[in-house]
Amino acid sequence: MNILRIIGSMDPASGGPCQGIRNSCNELQKMGVHNEVVCLNRPDADFLGKDSFPIHAVGPGKGPWNYAPKLIPWLSENIGRFDAVIVHGLWLYPSYAAIKALKRFKARQSGPTKGAGKVPRLFIMPHGMLDPYFQKAEGRKLKALRNWLYWKVIEGDVVKQADGVLFTCQAELELARTTFSPYRPSQEINVGYGIVTPPAFHLEMRKTFLDKCPGLGEQPYWLFLSRIHQKKGVDLLVEAYRNILLKQQELGGEIPKLVIAGPKLETAYGQKIQQMVDDDPLLKKNVFLPGMLAGNAKWGAFYGCEAFTLPSHQENFGISVVEALACGKSVLISNQVNIWREIEAARCGIVTPDTLEGTQQALTTWLRLSTAEKEKMNQRARAAFEREFAIPAAAQRLWEVVKPASNSMVDEKVSV
């Protein structure tokens, strides 16, 4: 069984989907499933050659559509080697290119030469890109109009022609039905999502992380670890945290420090967050902004935190949330993180609205828990990870859907 993944970028700094692909490909490889990825990064990108599966970089993509003239020729030449093709994401050139290349391949199979190659099944995995948030969010009016036009001209047809649309959780599947019309997928399949079990904690992780946060030392801290982006609600978190600090005497006890880690600190929004901290003496003493963390530093941050927080305005799945659970840490998240129902049901976190008041409520509620209550919640966090989000189970669900003889299994998974 051979699977081809198509995605705009496999750069680790580009966000969750590329890491999800890495997790899935590595696990499927253990099951004897061969995966390859074609992406629109430059062929000389420095992250290439470090993965256990082939990555074909045919970029760079050009313009806002990420047009890459080499993609369709590569797909036309190679698509017949695969049993299934999964396009990760929408709104950019790869989804259009996949449909175009597949049509050409099918035409060759039925043309005068009648090639003997099999026709792979095509799946779309939108990774939250059909969420209504992106059509309604402030500051996205032009992008929302662009998406509506793309849907009418290209993406609606892409979704209709695909053999199935794959979702990471039930909430994502249900939200996708509310955004665009006509919306006519042949199948909606909740395959779930998962991550690799983190490496066991060792002291070098703690040391490497603390080297990135001079002055933190052994003080307790809350951790935000994600892209520094407006969608993630970082400004709400900083403001809510400041309000908590101002109420320290009323709340009693020690207020943990706040570590805000992740890429994109150099962007306009990232600089806004940095300025919020620098301009306030109270925040400057208590907030740490180490930038992107990877490897030992990243796992040291997770294992060492008191709790993980993500007050996002929209989060399709939240890999960082699940990474925190895997490290046995409770999560303080908004109800716009699409796995919030699973978190709430497992009683391994605190879920509140994605507002200033909601974010402050989450932090305050955690502070008021007893040590024993926090410990029980942390234990439930690890159990929830193993039950719901460990990569072996997620990879098995995906395999059951895309494997050639999986028709009966797919029918069982179609949501109505």
Asked if 257 and 315 sit in the same domain, the reply is yes
Go through 232-263 and write b for each residue having 16 or more CB atoms within 10 A of its CB, e for each that does not.
bbbbbbbbbbbebbeeeeeeeeebbbbbbbbb
Give the least confident one: 111-120, 334-343, 349-358: 111-120
Decide if 322 contacts 387 (C-beta within 8 A): no
Rounded CA-CA distance 224/236 in Å is 12
Neighbour tally for 295: CB within 10 Å: 12
- My answer on whether 72 and 157 are in the same domain is yes
Nearest-Å Rg of the Cα atoms of the chain is 22
Q: Are residues 269 and 149 in the same domain?
A: no
Q: Which residue has the tokens 């066991």?
A: 200
* pLDDT value at 406 more than 70: no
Closest to 8 in 3D by CA, of 50, 65, 49, 69: 65
* Residues 354 and 398 grouped into a single domain: no
Residues 173 and 65 in one domain: yes
Cβ–Cβ under 8 Å, residues 286 and 182 = no
3-state secondary structure of 287: strand
**Rounded Cα–Cα distance for residues 44 and 273 (Å):** 33
pLDDT at 254: 87
Mean pLDDT for the stretch of residues 229-249: 94
Whether residue 267 sits in one domain with residue 409? no
288: which strand partners? 259
Q: For residues 308 and 325, what is the distance between their CA atoms, to the nearest angstrom?
A: 9
**Res. 408 pLDDT band, cuts 50 70 90:** very low
In 3D space, the residue among 362, 363, 356 whose CA is nearest the CA of residue 344 turns out to be: 362
Is residue 16 located within the same domain as residue 99?
A: yes
The pLDDT, as a whole number, for residue 413 is 35
How many domains does the chain contain in total?
2
Domain check: are 220 and 141 in the same one?
no
Q: How confident is the model at residue 409 (pLDDT cuts 50, 70, 90)?
A: very low
Query: Which tens digits make up the pLDDT trace of 20-32?
Result: 899 899 999 999 9
Q: With bands split at pLDDT 50, 70 and 90, how would you rate the model's confidence at 114?
A: low
Q: Select from 238, 218, 275 the least CA-distant residue to 359.
A: 238
pLDDT given at position 20: 87
Q: Are residues 259 and 403 in the same domain?
A: no
Mean pLDDT of the chain: 92
Of 393 and 10, the structure prediction assigns the larger pLDDT to: 10
177 CB contacts (<8 Å, ≥6 apart)? 183, 188
The pLDDT of residue 404 is 76
Query: Is the domain of 55 the same as that of 152?
Result: yes
Q: Which pLDDT value is given to residue 204? A: 97
* Same domain, residue pair 303 and 408: no
Strands (E), 226-339: 257-261, 287-291, 307-310, 331-334
Percent of the chain with pLDDT over 70: 95
Q: Which two tokens stand for residue 375?
A: 């410990």
**What number is the average pLDDT over the span 239-247?**
96
- CATH number for 292: 3.40.50.2000
Going by pLDDT thresholds of 50, 70 and 90, the confidence category of residue 253 is confident
In this predicted structure, the answer to whether residue 55 has a pLDDT above a threshold of 70 is yes
Q: Which domain holds residue 324?
A: 203-389
Query: Which range in 2-16, 147-161, 248-262 is most confidently predicted, on average pLDDT?
Result: 147-161
Q: What is the pLDDT of residues 157-213, one digit of tens each?
A: 999 999 999 999 999 999 999 999 999 999 999 998 888 899 999 999 999 999 999
Contact present, 348 and 307 (Cβ < 8 Å): no
The verdict on 142 and 229 lying in the same domain is: no
Model pLDDT for residues 58-94, shown as the tens digit of each residue: 999 999 999 999 999 999 999 999 999 999 999 999 9
DSSP state, residue 204: H
Question: Out of 13-22, 112-121, 379-388, 407-416, which region has the weakest mean confidence (pLDDT)?
Answer: 407-416
pLDDT at 228 over 80: yes
